[in-house]
Structure 1
Amino acid sequence: MSRVCELTGKGPMVGNNVSHANNKTKRRFLPNLQDVTLQSETLGRAFKLRISNAALRTVDHRGGLDAYLAAAKDAELSPKALKIKRDIRKSSDTAAALEA
């Protein structure tokens, strides 16, 4: 399982452990990934995603999964998140066509 956030694209970074004697050894900084289930109001169903804690806070701040995906850049999203975004857009376009 890759250590990449499905919504933001955040992945591991590299750096150094620096000892008191100033010895440097390579280390990895891993993102704080969580397995969460997010609800889509437009589609009326839940999706299981592996996202970073920062992305989860951003989803809450923007008002839910639908609003987050509407504002997100396609290049950052995983293929699974892109499919959810397309389904939401298609569903909302269909609803708008039915109202008109």
Structure 2
Amino acid sequence: MSRICELTGKGRQVGHNVSHANNKTKRTFLPNLQNVTLISDALGTSVRLRVSTHGLRSVEHNGGLDNWLVKTRDTDLSLRARRLKRDVVKKLGETKAA
């Protein structure tokens, strides 16, 4: 399982540990990923995703999962999130047409 947020695409970063003597050794910075269940209002279901805490804050700031998915570009989303976005947009389009 890769260490990438399914909503924001945030992944690991590479940097250095720097000692007091200024020796540098490689290290990785991993995102704070959480397994969460988010509720889709448009679909009326709950969805389990692996999301960074930064992504969770962004979802809450945008007013929920559906709004976040509609506003986000497809290139930033995982395959599961893109499929979910397609379903949400389809469902929202049906409600506006009716």
Query: What TM-score results when the alignment is normalised by the length of structure 2?
Result: 0.97
Gaps spanning 5+ residues in structure 2: where?
Answer: none
State the match for 2:22 in structure 1: 22
Q: Size of the alignment, in residue pairs?
A: 98
1:42 aligns with 2:42: yes
Deviations 1:3-56 (A, max 9, x none): 000001010000000001111100000011110000000000000000110000
Q: Which amino acid aligns with 1:4?
A: I
Instruction: Please name the residue that 1:65 is paired with.
Output: 65
Distance 2:89 2:16 in 1: 43
SS at match of 2:75: coil
Q: What is the CA–CA distance in structure 2 between the aligned matches of 1:93 and 1:70, rounded to whole Å?
A: 11
**Partner letter of residue 51 of structure 1?**
V
1:77, 1:65 → 2: CA distance? 13
Unaligned residue ranges in structure 1 (runs of 5+): none
Match of 1:93 in 2: 93
Does the residue aligned with 2:74 lie in a helix, a strand or coil? coil
Q: Distance in 1 between matches of 2:55 and 2:62?
A: 10
Runs of 4+ in 1 over 2 A off after TM superposition: none
Shift of 1:94: 1.3
Scaled by the length of structure 1, what TM-score is found?
Answer: 0.96
Alignment correspondent of 2:51: 51
Q: What are the Cα deviations for residues 50-93 of structure 1, in whole angstroms up to 9, with x where unaligned?
A: 01100000101111000101110110000000001000011111
